[in-house]
Structure 1
Amino acid sequence: MDQRIFDPSPAASPETLAVQPLLPGADLPLLVTPKDGALDDGGWRKLLPDIHAVVRGRLPIAGGLLFRGFGLHGDAPFRAFAESFGRPLLDYDFGSTPRSAVDKGVYTSTEYPAHQSIPLHNEQAYTLQWPQTIWFHCVTAATTGGATPIADSRLVARRIDPAIRARFAAKRLMYVRNYGNGLDLPWQRAFNTDDPAEVERFCRANAIAWEWTEDGELRTRQICQAVARHPVTGDEVWFNQAHLFHVSNLPPAVRDSLLAVVEDESELPRHVFYGDGTPIEDEALDHIRAVLDDCTRSFPWQEGDVMMLDNMLAAHGREPFTGKRKVVVAMADPVRSPDLPAA
């Protein structure tokens, strides 16, 4: 990551922008608004130097900024706003959830049924490369619900039981995925190709072990970090998706039916072990989920909002909703785990 995007020293708010906590008693996210009132479409461009100054000074401290009242409405203006930071937008490679491209570098948020919640997670923390920066744009707010809850990953790391945190950090995690079985994506969609040779090249370049099963499907294994150290601030963060990938995350009836038909847990659609292949204790995952719940902060979307997160400093999720909801996503600034300082 080009570290020039961040200036870790606090900066005074520019004269054109107001910066303040959105939620009482919490600095995540900070609300950024134009001091002279809501802008017309495209009006944000004249404030770009001040917007960028706020991002440099405040994002690495707060972990997330909510831009409101900047006249951003729709996929194309959102893409222009994200691209204004000068970083190429990333494709959604090696994805784990269904999404659709709506513009170059802009995707729908996870396309799970509206009645389902999505637990807190850091984007692509189940692999060795992820986006440092992620933007969310509310095009259409839900009738009810549909918030994107967030949590400070530094606070999560501090609140997890030290013995559990140390065990996860030392052992790391092994994610196992079996594609195209109804619960995980088809490998063609996860890797954005129909060519098995392209899949193998991607796996080889990203330290992913793979095998083609007898029925022609794909199984992958990858050993990844459980905690990480931020490349700019040096903060230790809780950075994994063990609580999402583990079979205990599924509803009991679904979990029991799956376990009844597999001989080995590595045959589950997706699962996670410690990096040495030993099982992760359900009690540890229950504790981790409780800490995440306790650290969660939530707010209702307003149409036109853009939330910018440092993906290592802030986790995000989704609440169930009714009505039509459209929140689109863009990502930038790839980070590789091997390039980070040791946690």
Structure 2
Amino acid sequence: MSAFTVRPLLEGTSLPMLFEASGSSILLSDALPEMRPEIDKHLRTGGGVMFRGFDLDGADAFRAFAGDFGHPLLTYEFGSTPRSQVTKGVYTSTEYPPHQHIPLHNEQAYTRDWPMKIWFYCMQAAPEGGETPIADSRAIFNDVPEAIRQAFVDKGLMYVRNYGNGLDVPWQQVFGTEDKAEVEAYCAKHGITCDWKDDGELRTRQVCQGAARHPVTGEWVWFNQAHLFHVSNLEPEVRESLLDIVEDEEELPRNVLYGDGSPIDDATLETVRDVLKQHTVIFPWQSGDVVMLDNMLTAHARTPFKGPRKVIVAMAEAHGQH
């Protein structure tokens, strides 16, 4: 008898495909060799799978399971959000306040280097909310209006970040060092322009892709975080307050322009957000669930929640364009 069954988790969509234990006390790692061909197939076609009902005993077992796919787990370098390391190669999910919604995005799509695979392990499901919505990045690419899509493909995007000053993550945390020379070396290696400002804080600029071709399937995917970094992502009162503080949009904690330095208007990003919303798939977590995504084919998000919630994350299979 097989240790698992496979079916769509939700009616009407194969994202994610559910791999469910056929009995009790089946270790997820033990079932992996039998499941692996099916996992690989559904990651290519659908972009994401869920494992439910298997035994998985904590963060170290999760790390071992993710590592069994054959690639070293990645460190969270050049991060844009606060996280904490749980164990080697495993991190908390983004540590934003529970009431905040985190929009759909592909992990580290604001860089030229990103993980191809990402895993989420729900150690404790929130009693209310806290889902991890997902969406097909190929479908998003196809449904973004052609003029917007072509501008993103042709021009790329320039991400501008100003660190620290109590407004964003300190550069010391982002780069994992207090040594400015190490920061400069990292930036030089990864095609990032860095400038030390008079107050000792850091500004970086990096031109990256607005969309990309998947290296295995060859399909175009919507692959950026423009809608998160752009100033229009801020609530109007927050935007006004920040501009009162910094006086110039160049000094905002983060913003995004087209790759040639020209501005992206608010309406363009609102159109993109509408497309993202149309393709959002939401499912409830159960404690013990693991979701595995092809990070280029599938975007992820987080809904607000109440009560305790613990979801941890691992990433692997680096893909770089620098």
Do these two structures clear the TM 0.5 threshold for a shared fold by scoring above it?
yes
Write the distance in 2 (CA, Å) between the matches of 1:186 and 1:289: 28
Q: Does 1:315 align with 2:302?
A: no
Does 2:287 match 1:300? no
Match of 1:28 among 4, 12, 15: 15
1:54 paired with 2:41, answer no
1:145 and 1:319 in contact (8 A); partners too? yes
Q: Is the 8 A contact 1:178 1:269 kept in 2?
A: yes
Q: Is 2:136 the partner of 1:152?
A: yes
How far residue 15 of structure 1 moved from its aligned partner, in angstroms, is 3.9
SS at match of 2:296: coil
Superposition deviation, residue 179 in structure 1: 0.3
Distance 1:209 1:142 in 2: 40
- The equivalent residue for 1:171 is 155
1:38 aligns with 2:24: yes
Q: CA deviation at 1:265?
A: 1.5
SS in 1 for 2:166: coil
CA separation in 2, counterparts of 1:44 and 1:142? 23
Local SS of the residue matching 1:176:
strand
Letter of the aligned partner of 2:4 in structure 1?
L
How far apart are the structure 2 equivalents of 1:321 and 1:240? 26
Deviation at 1:199, TM superposition (A): 0.4
- TM-score, normalised to structure 1, is 0.92
CA contact (8 A) 2:135 2:300 kept: yes
Aligned-residue offset at 1:84:
1.1
Counterpart-to-counterpart distance in 1, 2:247 and 2:128: 42
Aligned to 1:341: none
Measured after TM superposition, the shift of residue 259 of structure 1 is 1.9
The offset of 1:263, in angstroms, is: 4.1
Partner Cα distance (2:52, 2:121) in 1: 10
Shift of 1:55: 1.9
* Amino acid in structure 2 at the alignment position of 1:249: N
Write the distance in 1 (CA, Å) between the matches of 2:29 and 2:110: 36
How far apart in 2 are the matches of 1:259 and 1:133?
Answer: 37
Counterpart Cα distance in 1 of 2:320 and 2:190 = 10
Deviation of the 1:76 alpha carbon: 1.3
The whole-number CA distance in structure 2 between the counterparts of 1:299 and 1:313 is 18
Q: 2:182 aligns with which of 191, 195, 198?
A: 198
Q: How many residues align?
A: 322
- Contact 1:135–1:330 under 8 Å retained in 2: yes
Matching residue of 2:67: 83
1:181–1:269 contact (8 Å) kept in structure 2 = no
**2:112 matched residue in structure 1:** 128
Partner of 1:18: 5
SS at the partner of 2:35? helix
Letter in 2 for 1:18: T
> Are positions 1:65 and 2:52 aligned together?
no
Residues in 2 aligned to 1:182 and 1:114: alpha-carbon distance in whole angstroms: 20
Return the offset for 1:56. 1.8
Counterpart in 2 of 1:249? 233
The C-alpha deviation readout for 1:247-269, integer Å capped at 9, x for no partner, is: 11011111011123334311111
Instruction: Find the partner of 1:93 among 52, 77, 84.
Output: 77
Helix, strand or coil: the match of 1:329?
strand
Do the aligned partners of 1:154 and 1:236 also contact (CA within 8 Å) in 2?
yes
> How many angstroms does 1:181 deviate by?
2.7
Mapping for residues 213-252 of structure 1, pairs under 5 Å: 213-252=197-236
- Does residue 322 of structure 2 align to residue 334 of structure 1? no
Structure-to-structure mapping, 1:107-118, within 5 angstroms: 107-118=91-102
> What SS does structure 1 have at the residue aligned with 2:14?
coil
Q: Which runs of 5+ in 1 are unaligned?
A: 1-13, 339-343
CA contact (8 A) 2:134 2:281 kept: yes
Is the 8 Å Cα contact of residues 225 and 337 (structure 1) preserved in structure 2? no
Q: Determine helix, strand or coil for the equivalent of 1:234.
A: coil
The question of whether the paired residues in 2 share the 8 Å contact of 1:153 and 1:313 is answered with yes
1:162 and 2:146 aligned = yes
Is the partner of 1:111 in helix, strand or coil? coil
Percentage of identical aligned residues: 60
Task: Report the CA distance shift for 1:15/1:37 in structure 2 as closer, same or farther (over 3 A).
Answer: closer
Would you say the 8 A contact 2:3–2:23 is kept in 1?
Answer: no
- Contact kept? 1:177, 1:270, Cα under 8 Å: yes
Post-superposition offset of 1:96:
0.3
Q: Is the 8 A contact 2:157 2:257 kept in 1?
A: yes
Cα deviations by residue, 1:59-113 (Å, 9 ceiling, x for unpaired): 1111000001111142111111111112100000000000000000000000000
